[in-house]
Amino acid sequence: MSFPVVVLISGSGSNLQALIDQSLAGQLNLEICAVISNKANAFGLQRAKQAGIPTHVLDHTHYSSRELFDTALQECIDAYQPKLVVLAGFMRILTEKFTRHYQGRMFNIHPSLLPKYKGLNTHARAILAKEKFHGVSVHFVSAELDAGAVIIQAKVEILSDDTPETLAQKVHKLEHIIYPQAVKWFSEGRLAIDNSGAWLDNTLLPETGFQYSSS
């Protein structure tokens, strides 16, 4: 039986595409039940339609409070009874109530080597700070922004001629590898979370998660 997930997006949806592609290729046994966007013009909605996945737009500007938006979002998600909610470039700060509801069953991908560089403009900030490495992390979502237990991370070296744009491109390629990997582990029942952190195959992962290596 395939594993039901709902994917939330706000933009291009290239991470969504990676999940669709790996599912079609039989590398992932997912049923992407629905894709929900808070932006009507998110390109990811077209990717979903192309793949025959139901889509919903919940425009946050139509709600008078964050709480009301999150309640509507939760209703929309729960109608599909997903076992995992995948935030894939969903650019919203979530209420504590919402994150608690999906505790242990909601992932996010963040373009930095967490716990470094939470928040926005991570590529530019890493270059400015003269970091040697940058990268991306997939983590369980907790109430605090970009602070949940890290599952997997992938690193890239920052070269002297890198710009935020070139670095973002390199990081994006890694995103499309490690996000499907984390979702696959979860769908196979190999991942868990408790107060001490994220567990893979009954082994507690370090604070920075499993380190992906291409070799």
Binding mask 4-23 for ligand GRF (x = CB under 6 A): -----x-xxxxx--------
Catalytic annotation on 62? Answer: no
CA 20, 24, 25, 27 torsion: positive or negative? Answer: positive
Residues numbered 162 to 191 that lie near ligand GRF (CB under 6 A) are 175
What residue spans of 80-200 are helical by DSSP H? Answer: 96-101, 122-128, 164-187
Binding mask 53-82 for ligand GRF (x = CB under 6 A): ------------------------------
Instruction: Please give the Cα distance from 64 to 42 (Å, whole number).
Output: 22
The residue written with tokens 């995992």 in the block is 84
Q: Which residue is nearest to ligand GRF (CB)?
A: 89
Min dist. Cβ of residue 58 to ligand GRF (A): 17
60 contact partners, CB below 8 Å, separation of at least 6 = 38, 69, 92
Min dist. Cβ of residue 171 to ligand GRF (A): 7
**Residue with Cβ nearer ligand GRF (123 or 184):** 123
Nearest CA-CA partner of 136 in 149, 152, 120: 152
**Site residues, ligand GRF (CB under 6 A):** 9, 11-15, 44, 88-89, 109-111, 136, 175
